[in-house]
Amino acid sequence: MAEHAMYFADDKARRIYLAKKIISRVFVYLFLTIFALFMLTPFVLMVAGSFINYESFNEFSRGADFAYLAFVGPEGQSNWGFENYKVIFDMSTYNFPVYFLNTFIVAIGSTIVTVVTAVLAGFAFARLEFKGKEALFAILLATMMIPGEMMVITNVMTVDEIGWRNTFAALILVHGVSVFYVFYLRQTFQQIPNELYLAAKVDGVSDIGYLLKVMVPIAMPTITTIIILSMMGAWNSYVWPNLVADSNWAYDDLFGTNHSMMLVSNGLRYVFSINDSGASDKEAVKIAGSMIISAPLFLVFILFRKYIMRGVSRSGIKG
């Protein structure tokens, strides 16, 4: 009898444990679902609004039913289409293809410069021995405490002094050095055993050769993360391009007339702020423009998110 009682007691405890586990899991998934819907709703509405005729969307903004406007247009026709995107890419009215070309050039160029400087500086602080290395690195980290806005006026004055206003040089080189990426890559390089470096020196391998053949391949997840984040930062840049890229390119004869130096972010703001553009009252066209700007970054994150997570997790492990 005692054995049967113990069996039933254990079985009851097991059932209670399983019930609590299932209930807790249900609440966790319910919370995550609600949170996901809360985060995704604005994005879904942006996607939906970008495909609705801007005239009908203006009626929605004045109080009309969204579902009716989305599916039942004039004379029973659907309001869905690509009209807003056609308006955006109308070269006779807007310069969005040029803005995209400028942004692509700046993103690629600044990313290349950033990766090169971060790799070289990270390697120097992680492996090379020179006098004052720790003090110099401490000073470098201390600059992260200075808000970037404090250096904007000086940088703009410097750009004007050397004649770089409305040029790719001003847009690219401002992103050329990142203290955070140097620190980030230094932490990754320090995880690589120093014995590999000493063995390479014994074999007569140069520092650059060791960096390119050993350290860079091992740190590729971190470098990939830097590439992705740097491109995203350059693509989203707004304040700096708004200050130094407010007109046509300084060497317009190479690209032809009316080659604006604006990027997509400040270009979108400029287009929809002028009264004679015909778009100041087209809210759906504005949403379509925001969608065009956000889509490449969203796609890049979806495709390369595993590299970002791998690089982040690797940089925090010592070994």
98 with 77, same domain: the answer is: no
72 with 115, same domain: the answer is: no
59 with 9, same domain: the answer is: yes
Domain boundary (61, 84, 107) is at 84
The whole-number pLDDT of residue 318 equals: 45
Q: 211 and 186 in contact (C-beta within 8 Å)? A: no
Residue 45 C-beta-side C-alpha neighbours within 13 Å: 11
Q: 260 and 248 in contact (C-beta within 8 Å)? A: yes
For residue 210, pLDDT beyond 90 = no
271 with 233, same domain: the answer is: yes
pTM of the entire predicted model? 0.74
30 with 103, same domain: the answer is: no
126 with 144, same domain: the answer is: yes
Residue 138 is assigned to a structural domain of this protein: yes
Joined tokens for residue 200:
């390479």
For the chain, the domain total comes to 2
If you write DSSP's letter for every residue of 222-251 in order, what string do you get? Answer: HHHHHHHHHHHHHHH--HHHHHH-SSB-TT
Q: What integer is the mean pLDDT of 163-190?
A: 86
pLDDT band at 30, cuts 50/70/90?
Answer: very high
Q: How far is CA 171 from CA 120, 165, 233, 239, in A?
A: 22, 9, 12, 11
46 with 104, same domain: the answer is: no
Residue 217 is assigned to a structural domain of this protein: yes
Residue 89 is assigned to a structural domain of this protein: no
Residue 77 is assigned to a structural domain of this protein: yes
**In 10 A of CB 242, how many CB atoms?**
16
Residue 199's domain is classified under what CATH number? 1.10.3720.10
d(C-alpha 106, C-alpha 117), whole Å: 16
66 with 99, same domain: the answer is: no
The whole-number pLDDT of residue 78 equals: 55
The whole-number pLDDT of residue 133 equals: 85
181 with 130, same domain: the answer is: yes
d(C-alpha 262, C-alpha 247), whole Å: 7
Joined tokens for residue 143:
């600059």
Sequence-separated (6 or more) residues with CB below 8 Å from residue 220: none
70 with 126, same domain: the answer is: no
* 72 phi/psi in degrees, rounded to 5: -125, 105
What separation, in Å, do the N-terminal and C-terminal C-alpha atoms of the chain show?
57
Averaged confidence pLDDT in the chain: 77
Residue 46 is assigned to a structural domain of this protein: yes
d(C-alpha 151, C-alpha 129), whole Å: 31
Give the domain range for residue 23.
Answer: 2-84
The whole-number pLDDT of residue 206 equals: 84
Q: 82 and 267 in contact (C-beta within 8 Å)? A: no
Residue 41 is assigned to a structural domain of this protein: yes
pLDDT digit string, tens, across residues 136-166: 888 888 888 887 778 888 888 888 888 888 8
Q: What integer is the mean pLDDT of 16-30?
A: 86
23 with 154, same domain: the answer is: no
The whole-number pLDDT of residue 310 equals: 64
Domain boundary (84, 112, 139) is at 84
For residue 97, pLDDT beyond 50 = yes
Residue 134 is assigned to a structural domain of this protein: yes
Sequence-separated (6 or more) residues with CB below 8 Å from residue 72: 78, 79
Q: What integer is the mean pLDDT of 301-317?
A: 63
Domain boundary (53, 84, 115) is at 84
132 with 273, same domain: the answer is: yes
Residue 251 is assigned to a structural domain of this protein: yes
